[in-house]
A and B are shown apart, each in its own frame.
Chain A
């Protein structure tokens, strides 16, 4: 059981690290949103699922309620993160930022 929890949390940490590196390395604003929006969502999901499994070790009503709340966080994050990403993209689009392409880099 502990091994499953450790695997989930390590995957979450790996995805968080990838997201942070992606935010630093990507060339422009739009492509920075790809690691920020996707990797962070999946990292949060996997870490919270791991923590919920660890929490269910000692089964009682209190830990069950805490686990339900953790899954509520999972549900909310998976709903809110695409919406926040979409809002930021929309703001950038209306401000008229152009996106980075390969041609521009060569020329």
Chain B
């Protein structure tokens, strides 16, 4: 079962690399934000898996909970920050 968790954790890391493409090459700022949000929601699960691998779940579950809160607040703050910036986007698909 532990080796299964290890494979799942490695798979999650690969999937995070896929999402990293959108963070690096996203046409607008908000596309990058979507990529960051997706990576964050994978990181919560990855932290829990690491906790099971080291057999210290009672510690890592707190870290995962705090990371989830932090990710949520960060995404909302960034989205609010880019609210009023009209015309700052690259207009690759607008017309």
Contact = CB atoms under 8 A, between A and B. Distances in A.
Touch test A–B (CB under 8 Å) = yes
The secondary structure that dominates the B interface is helix
Interface in B31-51: 31, 33-35, 37-38, 41-42, 44-45, 48-49
Interface residues of B, number: 48
Q: Main SS of the interface on chain A?
A: helix
Contact of A70 (B42, B48, B94): B48
Contacts of B72: 76, 80, 83-84
B18 A88 contact: no
Contact of B45 (A48, A54, A80): A48
A72 B65 contact: yes
Contact of B69 (A5, A19, A76): A76
Interface of A: 2, 5-6, 9, 12-13, 16-17, 19-21, 23-24, 27-29, 32-33, 36, 40-41, 43-44, 47-48, 51, 54-55, 62, 65-66, 69-70, 72-73, 76-77, 80-81, 83-84, 87-88, 90-92, 94-98, 100
